[in-house]
Amino acid sequence: MKLCNSELYQFSRLERFPPTSCAALLAKRYGNVFSLYIGGRPAVILNGLESMKEALVTRAADFAGRPQDLMINHVTEGKGVILVDYGSNWKEHRRFALMTLKNFGLGKQSMEERILGEISHLIAPLAKNVGKSMNPQVLFHNAASNIICLVLFGSRYDYNDEFLKTFVRLYTENAKIANGPWAMLYDTLPMLRHLPLPFQKAFQNAICCRQMSLGLVTQHKETRIPGAPRDFIDSYLDELDKRGEDGSSFSEAQLIMYVLDLHFAGTDTTSNTLLTAFLYLMTHPEIQERCQQEIDTVLEGKEHASFEDRHRMPYTQAVTHESQRIANTVPLSVFHSTTRDTEVMGYSIPKGTLIIPNLTSVLSEEGQWKFPHEFNPLNFLNEQGEFEKPEAFMPFSAGPRMCLGEGLARMELFLIMVTLLRRFKFVWPEDAGEPDYTPVFGVTLSPKPYRLGVRLRGN
């Protein structure tokens, strides 16, 4: 395997060189599978659909591990589900989450009703800004947050609620720290970890988040009726009652981090995809208008959209998927590690090697997309104008570590975009200058802040 240690300096300079751009340059020189050292630790970067499929799908169990010695692991205390290493504990918690989400309506009409209910709250501030422009960042974030809050906590929060604002602020701060130079310093120079340096703020924020989560769990313990769960927390507490002291990985401490994991995963990627979608819809009015024509035709006489309507809206469904592809919210996925000695694309890889799947390389791969480097819904339409999802569409990664909330995210994006486009026209403000599509790197990728011009559509 090609070793490109000399390029590490460029790869690590996140403020000047986006890591996905560096990975693309290195892949051109060394091939789609190459290795480098990050702080003295060997890492393998995977690029392109072929290597991604072999590693994450064909050899799924070999590549399903998570590194356990990075700053973010220490911040989460090794609990939750996203960063937990592959094994029996992870498997039983993932199985429990999938089953519980399904029980609370994932993919069913009851989940649609929750989403549509939240959309009614989302419409109100947009309607107040008709004829003006507004910053949609907090609005979309709060809406996505409330939808997952209904599932996890059984309640939604007013958009000005201090609990919600504090939650968002703490997560935003930690996202910046986790992707910044101080986190890299923490990971590469262990002797500095106990010094009072800026990365300690992430640990303080994590303590605050756990305390907030503990408060919610305590409230549930005081008000729940065992065997009649209202939400995810109640269901987990019921599972704890069943298991007792059987030595399983289920515990109250695990629950506290688990709901934080699910809340972040269910909020950040969806809100950033919505921000990306409306940025491009404003600056591509012809695409927005074609969506609206299709929406008007399909929903004529209906009070509101349903998720089933997507099958009669191939163009709009193509736009929602193209928004996910362009948003590319988790460009380097969540880091993996090998669980045993294995190989990929003919290269031998030892157990415990850090694996970085460059999802960007797949979502914009030449030969996999008709228009890999531009926002174009034709990427998801065949010659007959029917919706068709290419194999290279993997914004949620692939294999057993694929995002738990894929189904919820797809339903949210479709219903929110259809409902808002049916009612409003979105325009790029005249005084906003030229649009800047350059994304901002954090734990997830997001567009730069922009103003959303809101107009009311005519009948």
- Burial letters for 33-45: b for 16+ Cβ neighbours within 10 Å, e otherwise? bbbbebeeebbbb
Residue 164 corresponds to which tokens in the numbers above?
A: 């919600």
What are residue 255's phi and psi, to 5 degrees? -60, -40
What are residue 427's phi and psi, to 5 degrees? -130, 150
8 Å CB contact between 240 and 250: yes
Specify the pairing of strand 2-3 against strand 33-38: parallel
Among candidates 235, 213, 234, 251, which has minimal Cα distance to 99? 235
22 is in an annotated binding site: no
DSSP 167-209: HHHHHHHHHHHHTSHHHHHHHH-GGGTTS--TTHHHHHHHHHH
| Residue 46: DSSP 8-state | E
Residue 334 corresponds to which tokens in the numbers above?
A: 């969540």
Q: Which amino acid is at 285?
A: P
Distance CA 459, CA 71 (A): 54
Distance CA 446, CA 272 (A): 5
Distance CA 144, CA 138 (A): 10
Specify the pairing of strand 354-357 against strand 347-349: unpaired
Distance CA 271, CA 298 (A): 26
List, in sequence order, every beta strand (DSSP E) within 115-162.
Answer: 133-134
Positions at the binding site:
403
Positions at the binding site for heme:
403
